[in-house]
């Protein structure tokens, strides 16, 4: 049986791995955003204790290799919490999200700091509370500024999903490895797997580029007052 026939016969099996990979990416980006944005706000506007807590979080999750974090959570923290039966997919998505959230926090923090301080002063002089000024004046601009940097998290998270193979997540690389162990054809299968990753990367980045163009504001300048 030639390679094309092998890939066609295994495609439904491989497709489940592609779906799992995309599920990990979307879950991780969502979790990272939900953690990273509040963390960035806390770093810029929070109290000293909040800033310290966020700094420890960012330091911890940026300082450890992703594989170590996966093992730490899957074999250590989750079993200690009595959650040893949680699926590898859930653990993988959570760890990818926590890891990515530490990087996203820095992206959003830089975007927030790029907003002119005069805008916060003007908003407060109009009677807005600090929280209202952050929500209605600072964040809309900061999110626009952060979008290109945040978009670059997509290919990073996509490639990081392959590490979840180590805890048994049935993502794309796991499925490809099963095919290799069954058909005894390694290099062509892994090359096909690499091609799929490149297609997913290209497609996702094109979609995010379209989003950037749709939400861009003509004449918007970073740090303008």
* Dist. CA 198–CA 195, nearest whole Å: 5
* Dist. CA 215–CA 164, nearest whole Å: 33
* In-domain check, residue 220: no
**The pLDDT of residue 22:** 95
**The pLDDT of residue 219:** 56
* In-domain check, residue 146: yes
* In-domain check, residue 224: no
Q: Longest Cα pair distance anywhere in the chain, in angstroms? A: 75
Number of domains in the chain: 1
DSSP type of residue 46: S
This prediction's pTM: 0.88
Q: What stretches in the chain show pLDDT beneath 70?
A: 1, 217-225
**The pLDDT of residue 225:** 47
Full domain range(s) for residue 158: 3-215
- Residue 112 near residue 140 (C-beta atoms within 8 A): no
* In-domain check, residue 67: yes
Q: Dig out the tokens for 199 from the structure.
A: 């297609």
* Torsions phi, psi for 220 (to 5 deg): -70, 130
* Dist. CA 213–CA 217, nearest whole Å: 9
> Which CATH number goes with the domain that contains 22?
1.10.3720.10
* Dist. CA 106–CA 5, nearest whole Å: 47
* In-domain check, residue 221: no
- Distances in Å between the Cα of 65 and the Cα atoms of 14, 71, 122, 204 are 28, 10, 43, 25
* In-domain check, residue 223: no
């Amino acid at each position: 049986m030639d390679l094309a026939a092998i890939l066609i016969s295994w495609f439904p099996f491989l497709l489940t791995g592609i779906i799992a990979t995309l599920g990990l990416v979307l879950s991780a980006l969502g979790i990272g955003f939900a953690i990273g944005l509040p963390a960035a706000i806390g770093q810029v506007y929070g109290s000293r204790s909040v800033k310290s807590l966020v700094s420890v979080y960012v330091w911890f999750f940026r300082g450890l290799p992703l594989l170590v974090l996966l093992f730490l959570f899957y074999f250590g923290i989750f079993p200690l919490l009595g959650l040893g039966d949680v699926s590898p997919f859930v653990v993988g998505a959570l760890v990818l999200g926590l890891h990515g959230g530490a990087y996203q926090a820095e992206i959003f923090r830089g975007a927030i700091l790029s907003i002119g301080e005069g805008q916060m002063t003007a908003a407060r002089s109009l009677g807005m509370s600090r929280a209202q000024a952050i929500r209605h004046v600072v964040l809309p601009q900061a999110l626009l500024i952060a979008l290109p940097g945040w978009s670059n998290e997509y290919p990073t998270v996509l490639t990081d999903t392959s590490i979840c193979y180590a805890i048994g997540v049935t993502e794309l690389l796991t499925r490809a490895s099963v095919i290799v162990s069954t058909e005894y054809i390694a290099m062509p299968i892994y090359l096909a797997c690499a091609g799929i990753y490149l297609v997913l990367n290209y497609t996702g980045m094109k979609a995010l580029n379209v989003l950037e163009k749709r939400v861009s504001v003509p004449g918007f300048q970073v740090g303008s007052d």
